[in-house]
Chain A
């Protein structure tokens, strides 16, 4: 059934078909790594460099102090003073400011008696950032006249500790996650095209008349993508450790094993797509139609447990879901082997099922 020489010859041929062209050699490796660098800095849920508008009708001491504190706030880049409520609305409408503060005439008097109110208009189009901005502004406001109200500086009666990532650096979360996503897309695109390209160019029929067996075809088509995907993943994990200085607390060996199984299960999905596609266009678009929803449901954007139950079940069939748990856990949580194995066996099952299905599909195509 399996002949080693034949397998090696096919493997060389498959690697060459991806890497022969210097342009594709570059395109397989360079963009994912560039994307990692750019997105690692781009993806943040903090709020910074925003503009805030203020319409101040009060001339007293406390509004003056509030404005000074706003000027000094680090998350605000400009405080824009306006002289009418209409202008305030305009700035929000145009999206030039994220929030607009309206300070009433009697503000300072009210603060002195312990009950100052100011209205904040927030751009709800940016609902998440808007809420964070309000939280920041509230902290600033709480500091005003703190001495006036007895008991006001009593601390919140809780102490909070963030494990694994004490300062909640978002990059520590995003970089390991991106490693999985970028490796997924690379491996998916390479494999989904592999059989479809041969069919479109007509060379797949030649395999019919050759002595090659179906398992050989599947193995020789899997290996290059597996090698490239794993290499890419390792590269990005290395960037996370050495470039972004993210603590790496877990076992490298187990992570490597998970990475290989993860790429293998993605390769299985890619080969299934490729086997049912008649053209390269179908293969690429098929890879997209599977890849994009898979990333959205994987728990990268929002935790899996927040999704409806039916979607949670579907998420279990997505390799990325399990790999994300492993990669985040290995970087930050020093995840023990038992917890990693709990995510490894689903990956192995997915890989087995998809590769078997791909073999069956290819076999039916060959006949």
Chain B
């Protein structure tokens, strides 16, 4: 404090010393930037309304567990067993069966997308049944243009036929080896539990990268950045002053989203709140660094938005392991994911929510995020200096 006071006293005599860190000046900058950030309703929209909308959608709209998939059941055989199999299809809650007597009826509805598949119970069903497994009993046709749904239709329809046959007392083939799966961390296999932590990472990416890139790019676009830089405040003070409010905004948004996830959407928080906050704080380093780098490269808001969309938001969506498994990607794309900070954050978030505080899983992720953040900040610093020359 003493040193700082001395420096201020000597401002006019020691210009070289002016550009050093000063806590009061920083505080003033933070206050100014916070006012600027909060004055714009779009900031609040992104920080507090969008997370709620996203969590709601991930909880109710984006469910990877299909239910009530619409299928057709073509009943060509009038026999009693055929009727009972049809009744079995009508009875399952995973499928929403629509009955028909002709395959042409349902085939067209498969093309239009009104049905996701159909089952044909053939005319000679009773004879086939009598022959015991040497000929297929029913035909399952799916809409392969939606591969994921097609898989569900196949599996559920198979399950219905198998269950129905077991109920008939026909000897079901037994296996010599049976696997007993136990799903840790998520025994109910609710996909929302795995998706909602990912949604938090998306929101943090939008706040950290997109918002920061826009805010700083606006200063360059309007020419006010040069004006601020010509004041006695140092570059570090100005940048920290700009980034701190968005850091705080991101953390508040995470807290809000986490509270919503735990108390409304029933996602367990098995790790500690401290770990969650620490991980989020660490993730903000590369996110903010990326935003800063984008803004100093683009220097106008349109470019900044485009770059942030394609380098920040979409990769966080597609390449972070939040929707799609990283292991299953081809090697060159797996290599790209190493450079995406959201990848480490999604992984850590899933662990802290569903598994607990597992330090061995956190440490490599934290180190990777910090390293990427350091690279972004260094590059941003160079780009800023070049802009000024």
Bound together, the chains give a CA A123 to CA B194 distance in angstroms of 11
Q: Tally of A-B residue pairs with Cβ under 8 A?
A: 355
A165 neighbours in B (Cβ, 8 Å)? 144-145, 147, 150
B13 neighbours in A (Cβ, 8 Å)? none
Bound together, the chains give a CA A164 to CA B41 distance in angstroms of 47
> Would you give the shortest CB distance from B256 to chain A, in whole angstroms?
16
Q: Could you say which of A280, A303, A333, A334 contacts B214, with CB atoms under 8 Å apart?
A: A280
With known contacts A35-B314, A128-B191, A281-B301, A292–B179 Cβ distance under 8 A:
no
The answer to whether A253 has its CB under 8 Å from any CB of chain B is no
Q: Which residue of B lies closest to A143 (CB)?
A: B177
Q: Mark B197-226, 1 if CB is under 8 A from A, else 0.
A: 000001000100011001100100000000
A170 neighbours in B (Cβ, 8 Å)? 147-148
The answer to whether B139 has its CB under 8 Å from any CB of chain A is yes
User: Which of B283-291, B303-311, B373-381 forms part of the interface with chain A?
Assistant: B303-311
Bound together, the chains give a CA A282 to CA B138 distance in angstroms of 57
B202 neighbours in A (Cβ, 8 Å)? 292
Question: Cβ of B42 and Cβ of A41 under 8 Å apart?
Answer: no
Bound together, the chains give a CA A23 to CA B336 distance in angstroms of 23
Q: Could you say which of A23, A158, A331 contacts B158, with CB atoms under 8 Å apart?
A: A158
User: Which of B23-31, B52-60, B73-81, B245-253 forms part of the interface with chain A?
Assistant: B52-60
A126 neighbours in B (Cβ, 8 Å)? 194, 325
Question: Cβ of A302 and Cβ of B137 under 8 Å apart?
Answer: no
Question: Cβ of A193 and Cβ of B305 under 8 Å apart?
Answer: yes
B53 neighbours in A (Cβ, 8 Å)? 289, 293
The answer to whether B87 has its CB under 8 Å from any CB of chain A is no
Question: Cβ of B302 and Cβ of A197 under 8 Å apart?
Answer: yes
Number of interface residues of B (CB under 8 A): 110
Interface centre among B145, B186, B211, B355, by most chain A C-beta atoms within 10 angstroms, is B145
> Would you give the shortest CB distance from B172 to chain A, in whole angstroms?
9
Question: Cβ of B136 and Cβ of A163 under 8 Å apart?
Answer: no
Bound together, the chains give a CA A133 to CA B210 distance in angstroms of 36
The answer to whether A219 has its CB under 8 Å from any CB of chain B is no
The answer to whether A149 has its CB under 8 Å from any CB of chain B is yes
Question: Cβ of B61 and Cβ of A305 under 8 Å apart?
Answer: no
Q: Could you say which of B184, B319, B347 contacts A38, with CB atoms under 8 Å apart?
A: B319
Bound together, the chains give a CA A134 to CA B111 distance in angstroms of 32
Bound together, the chains give a CA A158 to CA B181 distance in angstroms of 25
> Would you give the shortest CB distance from B122 to chain A, in whole angstroms?
10
Q: Which residue of B lies closest to A325 (CB)?
A: B113
Question: Cβ of A42 and Cβ of B177 under 8 Å apart?
Answer: no
A145 neighbours in B (Cβ, 8 Å)? 176-177
Q: Mark A268-291, 1 if CB is under 8 A from B, else 0.
A: 000000000101111011101100
Bound together, the chains give a CA A157 to CA B41 distance in angstroms of 61
Question: Cβ of B46 and Cβ of A332 under 8 Å apart?
Answer: no
Q: Which residue of A lies closest to B171 (CB)?
A: A151
With known contacts A160-B154, A161-B139, A124–B145 Cβ distance under 8 A:
no
B175 neighbours in A (Cβ, 8 Å)? 141-142, 149, 152
Question: Cβ of A288 and Cβ of B206 under 8 Å apart?
Answer: yes
A281 neighbours in B (Cβ, 8 Å)? 40, 42-43, 214-215, 218, 301
Question: Cβ of A45 and Cβ of B324 under 8 Å apart?
Answer: yes
With known contacts A44-B324, A158-B140, A168–B184 Cβ distance under 8 A:
no
B179 neighbours in A (Cβ, 8 Å)? 101, 117-120, 134, 137-138, 141
Question: Cβ of A157 and Cβ of B137 under 8 Å apart?
Answer: yes
Question: Cβ of B149 and Cβ of A189 under 8 Å apart?
Answer: no
Q: Could you say which of A93, A161, A162 contacts B360, with CB atoms under 8 Å apart?
A: A93
B313 neighbours in A (Cβ, 8 Å)? 288
Bound together, the chains give a CA A156 to CA B186 distance in angstroms of 30
The answer to whether B231 has its CB under 8 Å from any CB of chain A is no
B336 neighbours in A (Cβ, 8 Å)? 38
Q: Which residue of A lies closest to B50 (CB)?
A: A289
Q: Mark A22-45, 1 if CB is under 8 A from B, else 0.
A: 011001100110110011011111
> Would you give the shortest CB distance from B232 to chain A, in whole angstroms?
28
- Can you spell out 23 A-B residue pairs with CB atoms less than 8 angstroms apart? A23-B303, A27-B303, A35-B314, A38-B318, A38-B336, A93-B361, A116-B176, A119-B179, A125-B186, A144-B176, A144-B177, A154-B173, A158-B137, A163-B145, A172-B145, A173-B145, A193-B301, A282-B42, A297-B57, A329-B113, A333-B145, A335-B111, A342-B112
Further 20 A-B residue pairs, CB within 8 A, beyond A173-B147, A292-B50: A27-B306, A27-B307, A27-B310, A42-B318, A117-B177, A123-B185, A124-B183, A148-B176, A157-B162, A157-B165, A158-B136, A158-B140, A161-B140, A165-B145, A168-B151, A172-B145, A173-B148, A305-B68, A331-B145, A339-B111
Interface residues in chain A, defined as those with a beta carbon under 8 Å from any beta carbon in chain B: 18, 21, 23-24, 27-28, 31-32, 34-35, 38-39, 41-50, 62, 66, 90, 92-95, 98, 101, 111, 114-131, 134, 137-138, 141-142, 144-146, 148-149, 151-166, 168-170, 172-173, 185, 189, 193, 197, 277, 279-282, 284-286, 288-289, 292-293, 296-297, 301-303, 305-308, 311, 325, 328-329, 331-336, 339, 342
Interface residues in chain B, defined as those with a beta carbon under 8 Å from any beta carbon in chain A: 40-43, 45-46, 49-50, 53-54, 57-58, 60-64, 66-70, 110-113, 116, 133, 136-151, 154, 157-158, 161-162, 165, 171, 173-187, 189-191, 193-194, 202, 206, 210-211, 214-215, 218, 298, 300-303, 305-307, 309-311, 313-314, 318-319, 323-325, 327-330, 333, 336, 347, 350-351, 354-355, 358, 360-361
List the 10 shortest-distance A-B pairs measured between CB atoms, nearest first: A124-B186, A165-B144, A145-B176, A162-B144, A31-B310, A124-B185, A124-B183, A282-B42, A157-B137, A168-B147
